[in-house]
Amino acid sequence: MKILVCIKQVPDTTDIKWTEHNTIQREGVESVINPFDVYAIEEALKLKKSLGNVEITVLTMGPLQAKEMLKKAISVGCDNGVLLTDKKFAGADTYATGKTIASAIQNKLPDYDLIICGQFAVDGDTAQTGPSIASQLNIPQVTYVRELSKCDGKCIYAKREIEEGFETVKVELPALICVLKGFEEPTRPTINGIIKAQNSDITVYTIEDTGLTPEEAGLKGSPTYVSKAFRPVNTRGECEFCINCDTLAEKIKEFGGICNE
């Protein structure tokens, strides 16, 4: 069984800064594997442990430095790393990111059974990339997944969080799964894993390998743009209790909400 895990490099800080183009300032900031993607890797490792014959490839679209993050994933038990990197990918929105990753998979890694993504990236936080990849590959997707089980190579069961609790769905492979953060301690690198990671070659693909034109990737291929980025005003401590419905209705009106009295 072949599993692709999509992982994203995110800034290791809560003090996010923006560039003049309203994109996240990444230069000079330490980066880590997106915390949700750590659990995407964990789900893949669990399947490898239970099924045996599983090959895990970690894939990212990002700058050249993202090679180090891919090597970290290899040090905990993943088998291969693939980096999609090209200046023409810069400025991609979620649509262009999904399209680039899906095109690279179609062209270079078509022989997969399962794709695992995190549910959210803690910096962009749209939760759109996984579903975008699935829809562009035309494969089923399951989101908000807590746990994967009972995989027979043709189908897999996914326990997903819903408003009322949990539901388990059976999905045919190939499929894409978006996972939530788990509660268990993530796997730590072993000495052998670190040595393997140091000696492993990360496969690098550029725009030519995806089959996309420069107009279809990066900023040019992005139908959305960030018009403004700002830090919300902290209103903590300014909470007011409404003692009856009339004062509540007044407050709703005061803040511009619709109130049918």
d(CA 80, CA 222): 29
| 210 or 222: CB nearest ligand FAD | 222
d(CA 224, CA 45): 35
**Residues between 5 and 24 that touch ligand FAD (CB under 6 A):** 6-8, 23-24
- Of 31, 27, 37, the C-alpha closest to 9 is 31
Q: Find how far residue 60's CA is from the centre of its chain.
A: 9
**Site membership for ligand FAD, residue 62 (CB under 6 A):** yes
**Site membership for ligand FAD, residue 126 (CB under 6 A):** yes
Which residue in the shown chain puts its C-beta closest to ligand FAD?
124
**Site membership for ligand FAD, residue 127 (CB under 6 A):** yes
In angstroms, what is the minimal distance from the CB of 163 to ligand FAD? 20
Q: Contact with ligand FAD (CB under 6 A): which of 34, 85, 103, 143?
A: 34
Which residues, in sequence order, are bridge partners of residue 149? 157
Quick one: tokens of 156? Answer: 């897999």
**Site membership for ligand FAD, residue 43 (CB under 6 A):** no
| 77 or 118: CB nearest ligand FAD | 118
| DSSP string for 166-192 | EEEEEEESSEEEEE---SSPPPPPPHH
In angstroms, what is the minimal distance from the CB of 235 to ligand FAD? 25
Judged by DSSP in three states, 26 sits in coil
For ligand FAD, which stretch binds (CB under 6 A), given 49-57, 146-154, 196-204, 222-230? Answer: 222-230
**Residues between 176 and 215 that touch ligand FAD (CB under 6 A):** none
Pairing outcome for strands 155-162 and 165-172: antiparallel
Place of tokens 């390998």: 209
Judged by DSSP in three states, 161 sits in strand
| 120 or 205: CB nearest ligand FAD | 120
If binding means CB under 6 A, how many residues of this protein chain bind ligand FAD?
A: 35
**Site membership for ligand FAD, residue 55 (CB under 6 A):** no
In angstroms, what is the minimal distance from the CB of 208 to ligand FAD? 18
CA distances for 90 relative to 74, 102, 222, angstroms: 26, 16, 10
Place of tokens 């980066």: 31
**Residues between 81 and 120 that touch ligand FAD (CB under 6 A):** 90-94, 97, 101, 117-118, 120
**Site membership for ligand FAD, residue 65 (CB under 6 A):** no
CA distances for 52 relative to 1, 47, 117, 161, angstroms: 9, 8, 21, 27
Residues in touch with ligand FAD (CB under 6 A):
6-8, 23-24, 34, 36-37, 40, 60-62, 90-94, 97, 101, 117-118, 120-121, 123-130, 222, 224-226
